[in-house]
Amino acid sequence: MKKIGIMTTGGDCSGLNTAVQRLYRAASLRGWRVFGILDGTDGLCTTPPKVIEFNEETLPIESARLAGSFLHNGHANALNFETAVEHGKIEKFNQKLRESLLELKLDAIVLIGGNGSLSLAWCNKEIYNGLQLVCIPKTIDMDIPLTDKTIGFDTAVQQLTSFCDQLMMTARSHHRWFVVQTMGRDCGQLALNAGIAIGANAILIPEIKFDTDSLISHIKKSFIDYGIILVSEGISLRGHSGRPADMISRKLTAAGIVNRTAFPEHTQRAGDTVASDRILATRMADCAINAIENNETYVMTAIKDSKCITVGLNEFFNAGEISDDPRIPGVQTSDAFVSPENPLLQIAVNMGIYIGETK
Ligand code: F6P
């Protein structure tokens, strides 16, 4: 009988609980014991490690749709890979994680994490020697290379869409514009997809250079005098510091365009998990359990050409490099960022959405 552990690390997003519940279901049907590590690596640093054993009641099926992580994602100021490096304690930290994993006598661990967590798992891979490590990619940023989908993204797009839908009524009532700042770090996928969904008037993302004067003239030429300008948190404006939405708002005000800013913040990571994320979480959980059964290790589940497969963590790590984009001077790129060939960009242009200087 196998013993497997599950942990959720990095920022939360909706869909984590579905993945955890489905992992438990698939593993228990094989007669395996399933343990949840609480608080991610934080829980492994505690003596004894913070662990619960799953049973049918631990995470009831009706709760698997809820946002957040039933296993928690760790405390704000906890010792983690980054702070351990900062304080010169990485060897001690890694040793403690390894000891805890040995103490738990796990055969495999499923790590549900984002870009940072998966990269750190690969860079500190010796911690997992002797047990199987299978990762499941989750993030609202959708910035993980080698997979077409990440758990949490679709729900975040829905959350952002609903947030903007609400603002649109006030925008119309007051003949005013809302500059909405989205999450997404350096990746514009979330803003681009939600922007198309709501019919934004403009979408500014880090991957595409934009010109403020062109944006202003686009808004002024608009058929209507209200709407939404979506601004991804990763954009920058030469000579300006502070929140990107504030910078854009000030420019619009100076040009006589009445506007307000709005910040959906962590509501983008909340909300009941939408059906497509639940299906994705189920597919990835199934794939992860099959991978454990097939003795795979140091792999990540991924969606490629509509199929759920595993890819090596080494491949993921090598593909994730962020470099200067040779096609656009001054802009950085990675395999996971919005590429200039993304069909949604041209569709946005065709729909009269200002998306930046795409040509
Ligand atoms: O990576 C997910 C994410 O939500 C980003 O989009 C955002 O920049 C960041 O995490 C916010 O992190 P925190 O919850 O620490 O404020």
Confidence of residue 332 (pLDDT cuts 50, 70, 90): low
Residue 151 DSSP class: B
- The pLDDT value recorded for residue 327 is 63
- 57 vs 331: which has the higher pLDDT: 57
**So which residues are the catalytic ones?**
141
Structure tokens at 200: 């934004």
Whether 140 is in the pocket of ligand 1, judged by its Cβ within 6 Å, is yes
Distance of CA 294 to the CA centre of its chain: 28
Q: How far apart are CA 282 and CA 351, in angstroms?
A: 35
Which pairing describes strands 132-137 and 177-182: parallel, antiparallel, or unpaired? unpaired
Confidence of residue 359 (pLDDT cuts 50, 70, 90): low
- The pLDDT value recorded for residue 331 is 67
pLDDT tens figures, 162-207:
999 999 999 999 999 999 999 999 999 999 999 999 999 999 999 9
* Residue located nearest, by CA, to atom 13 of ligand 1: 11
C-alpha 152 to ligand 1 mean position (Å): 13
C-alpha 11 to ligand 1 mean position (Å): 6
Give all domains of the chain, ordered by start, each with its CATH number.
Answer: 3-152+273-319 (3.40.50.450), 157-269+340-350 (3.40.50.460)
Whether 183 is in the pocket of ligand 1, judged by its Cβ within 6 Å, is yes
C-alpha 166 to ligand 1 mean position (Å): 23
Q: How far apart are CA 125 and CA 135, in angstroms?
A: 12
Average of per-residue pLDDT values in the chain: 95
| CA neighbor of 310 nearest in space, from 136, 176, 59, 108 | 136
C-alpha 205 to ligand 1 mean position (Å): 16
Q: Which helix or strand (DSSP H or E) is residue 8 part of?
A: strand 3-8
* Residue located nearest, by CA, to atom 8 of ligand 1: 185
Q: Which of 69, 183, 205, 268 to mutate to test the pocket of ligand 1 (most atoms within 8 A of CB)?
A: 183
Number of Cβ within 10 Å of residue 252's Cβ equals 21
Whether 114 is in the pocket of ligand 1, judged by its Cβ within 6 Å, is yes
Mean pLDDT of 142-151: 97
| 76 has a pLDDT exceeding 90 | no
Residues of the chain with pLDDT > 70: what percent?
A: 97
- The pLDDT value recorded for residue 48 is 96
Q: What is the pTM of this model?
A: 0.96
Structure tokens at 131: 């047990």
End-to-end CA distance of the chain: give it in Å, rounded.
58
Confidence of residue 333 (pLDDT cuts 50, 70, 90): low
Confidence of residue 77 (pLDDT cuts 50, 70, 90): confident
